[in-house]
Amino acid sequence: RSKTGGLVWLLLTGPVGIFDCAINWYRTALWAAVTVVSCGWLGVFWMDYNGTSARDVARQLTNNNMVIAGHRSSSTVPTLQKQIVPAAFVGGCTVGVLSVAASLLGAFGGGTGVVLAVTMALQYIELVARETNPQLLAQMGKME
């Protein structure tokens, strides 16, 4: 006999359909909140891992002899920290909202599968554009 329930099941298992959303609205809301917030925090951690943290951007600005207008060069990292970390969190939460919405609307493969498929498709488009026509990449708004 298998047991269904518990804290992990409550937090990590999304609703099965619209009827399940209506009956267990509290579980759906809790699942959506956990998903969105965890995606936000994942965005912040990914920023540190990916090399786009405030310290890395400040280093790039220093290497290019650029400064932030109205700020000393010693205060570049704290100034960027106030902007980059919230932007990464909001960006991660946005991906989480898209994933939750796709799951609730019954997307084939679930919401996370849709987000992963779109991300992979964009990476392939960028790769093809970079290999075939670099000017096309510039016209697309430099996705890198």
Q: Which residue has the tokens 């599968």?
A: 113
Tokens encoding 112: 């996370």
Q: 118-132 as b/e, with b when 16 or more CB fall inside 10 Å?
A: eeeeeeeeeeebeee
Q: How confident is the model at residue 138 (pLDDT cuts 50, 70, 90)?
A: low
pTM: 0.70
Q: How confident is the model at residue 104 (pLDDT cuts 50, 70, 90)?
A: confident
**Average pLDDT of the chain to the nearest whole number:** 80
Identify the pLDDT of residue 134.
65
- Of 69, 47, 51, 49, whose CA–CA distance to 60 is shortest? 51
Identify the pLDDT of residue 38.
92
- pLDDT, tens digit, 9 for 90 and up, residues 10-62: 777 777 777 878 888 888 888 899 989 999 999 899 888 888 888 888 888 88
Q: How confident is the model at residue 3 (pLDDT cuts 50, 70, 90)?
A: low
Phi, psi values for residue 106, rounded to 5°: 80, 35
Higher per-residue confidence, 126 vs 3: 126
State how far the Cα of 135 lies from the Cα of 33, in Å rounded to an integer.
41
pLDDT, average across residues 107-118: 73
Residues 6+ apart with CB under 8 A from 130: 137
Q: Which residue has the tokens 């980059």?
A: 84
